Structure 1
Amino acid sequence: MSIRVACLCGNVAIELGGEPVARANCHCSSCRDFYGVTVFSATAWEASSVQMASFDARSFSHPHKQLKKTFCATCGEVVFGTNRLCMRVVPNAMLARAGCGWLDVAMAPTMHLYYRQRVVEVRDELP
């Protein structure tokens, strides 16, 4: 499988190859703080499965944790993050945009991570 996703303005695009390693809704305080969200819904990919297709991107490393985010220099949208395991973490909002506004079932989250750290209740069937 190969998927091309791009930021909102289209200046930064990435190609995703193969299958994601994990598909999750993360509730950890690190993701909430670093990405500025209450729940970070994303897919994690091996670094070798994510190729930059255009290069108008910048990156920012967390000052204290092993986290980095790569974002568009024009619109500011995060294209992917890099976690402490060096996996590329792609926001599901970008995958949904590539799917005409819908997240393909093959990319849908299969679990919640760090739910005990949640700040919002999520009622669904996911573990």
Structure 2
Amino acid sequence: MDLHGSPAARANCHCSSCRDFYGAPVFSATAWEPDAVCNSEGLGQTFKHPEKQLTKTFCDVCGEVVFGTNRLGMRVVPNALLARATDGKLEANLSPTMHLFYRQRVVDASDDLPKYLDGWDGPTYAS
């Protein structure tokens, strides 16, 4: 997989859909325009969520999620994958800049990033 340009969003998502679909209490990822994520050899099956507008595309070799697609059609690349590609450290230009759907959180986050209760155009959490 090749990434071109800059991500459209960099976030830690707390929504129940991401928790369910990606199997994590918080899904940290970057969102890209579809044409900014180029498929390469080794990409395997794509799994579509049975009820929601979400997909996951897996690596043929290791079975890991290479990217997903969200309801807006954006390609969503897990930050864990990006960090492993750079010796375990996520590059600063890919680090999350916000928390989304913080109202649905199952764990509290203690950082200085804005915590949007819903999407990034809504109200923020005030501690």
What's the TM-score once normalised by structure 2's chain length?
0.87
1:71 equivalent in structure 2: 58
2:44 equivalent in structure 1: 57
Runs of 4+ in 1 over 6 A off after TM superposition: none
Aligned residues: 114
**What's the % identity of the aligned pairs?**
66
Give the secondary-structure state (helix, strand or coil) at the position aligned to 2:66: strand
Q: Compute the displacement of 1:111 (Å).
A: 0.1
**Alignment match of 1:28 (pick from 12, 15, 27):** 15
Q: Compute the displacement of 1:67 (Å).
A: 0.2
Give the secondary-structure state (helix, strand or coil) at the position aligned to 2:29: strand
Give the secondary-structure state (helix, strand or coil) at the position aligned to 1:93: helix
Q: Which has the higher strand share?
A: 1
Counterpart check, 1:112 vs 2:107: no
Flag the structure with more relative contact order, 1 or 2, with Cα contacts below 8 A and sequence separation at least 6.
1
> Could you say what the CA RMSD is over the residues aligned between the two structures, in angstroms?
0.9
1:80 equivalent in structure 2: 67
Q: Compute the displacement of 1:55 (Å).
A: 3.5
CA distance in 1, matches of 2:61, 2:16: 27
Cα deviations by residue, 1:34-93 (Å, 9 ceiling, x for unpaired): 011110000000000000121441110000000000012342210000001110000001
CA distance in 2, matches of 1:56, 1:91: 15
Runs of at least 5 residues in structure 1 that lack an aligned partner in the other structure? 1-13
